[in-house]
Amino acid sequence: MLLMAASLSIRADGTVVDKVYHPIVLPNEHRVEWRFMSRQTEEKNILAQRIGYGQSLSETVTVEFYLLGERDRDDNFGIEAYELESRWMITEQGRYWADWGMVFELEKRHGLDAWEASAGLLMEKEFGRNSLTLNWFSIYEWGNDIQDEWEGEFRMQYRFRWKPQVQPSLELFVGEDFVGIGPALMGIQRFEAQKQLKWELGFISELSGVTKDHTLRFVLEYEF
C-alpha cells in the first residue's frame, strides 16, 4: 500500500509537518494522492499542495512521482518542486514484533539548482485496536542555490482504530528547530476489489508556544 509522508524541507516554508509513512506495501497497487498544507506563523501564511501518482513494482516495492506547488508572495500558485519516491517493505506484515520498511526520496527544486535526498526508516506496531507508527529520516540538501547540509527528522503517530471510517490519532513531528504535536483524524472507505478511498486531517502546533506556528494538513488518496 502506497501510504506515505515525505519531507518538504527543501521548500521555502521549511516545515517538517507532513504525512506519516506506513511500511505496508500491497501488490498490484495503483494510487493517486493529493496533499494540502496550510502553515500560519506570526510573519506569514504558507499554502502548499502536492499531487502524486504511484504503483507497486513488486510485492514489496513501490514507486511514486509528485508535483509540489506553493503560493508565492504575490498570492500566485505555481510548481515549486518535483519528487521521486520509493518505499520498500522489509518484513512481512504481522510476522514479527513490528512491521519494518524504508522510504527513499529525491527532490528537485523547480527552476533552481537545489536538490534533496532522504532515506527514512519506518516502523509500525499494532496492539489490539491501537497502532504506533514511527519514522526516522536522514536528509541531505545540496546545490548552487541552497546550502549543503545534513538534517534529521522524526515523526510519530499513535492511532486508535475505532472504525475503518473514523480513526482518531495523536501526531508528533520533530525537526531542526521545530517540535510540534497535535490531533488528527483519518479514515478509509473500501469499495469493490482493491478500490478504496483514504483521508487524513491533522492540526499541529509548535510546542514552544512563544510565537504562533500552526499547521493544518489534509490528505486524500484513492487506491485501485
Please give the pLDDT value at position 123: 98
Q: Torsions phi, psi of 131, nearest 5? A: -135, 135
Please give the pLDDT value at position 70: 92
Please give the pLDDT value at position 74: 73
Please give the pLDDT value at position 102: 98
Please give the pLDDT value at position 177: 86
Please give the pLDDT value at position 52: 98
Q: Which residue is associated with the grid cell 500491497?
A: 26
Please give the pLDDT value at position 14: 54
Q: Give pLDDT < 70 ranges for the chain.
A: 1-15, 209
Could you read off the pLDDT of 20-74 as tens digits, one per residue? 999 999 889 899 999 999 999 888 888 999 999 999 999 999 999 999 999 877 7
Q: What is the pTM of this model?
A: 0.89
Please give the pLDDT value at position 20: 97
> E strands within 42-129?
45-56, 61-71, 77-89, 99-109, 115-127
Please give the pLDDT value at position 7: 35
Q: Are 35 and 49 in contact (CB under 8 A)?
A: yes
Q: Are 46 and 213 in contact (CB under 8 A)?
A: no
Residues 6+ apart with CB under 8 A from 23: 87, 89, 90, 91, 99, 100, 101, 102, 122, 123, 124
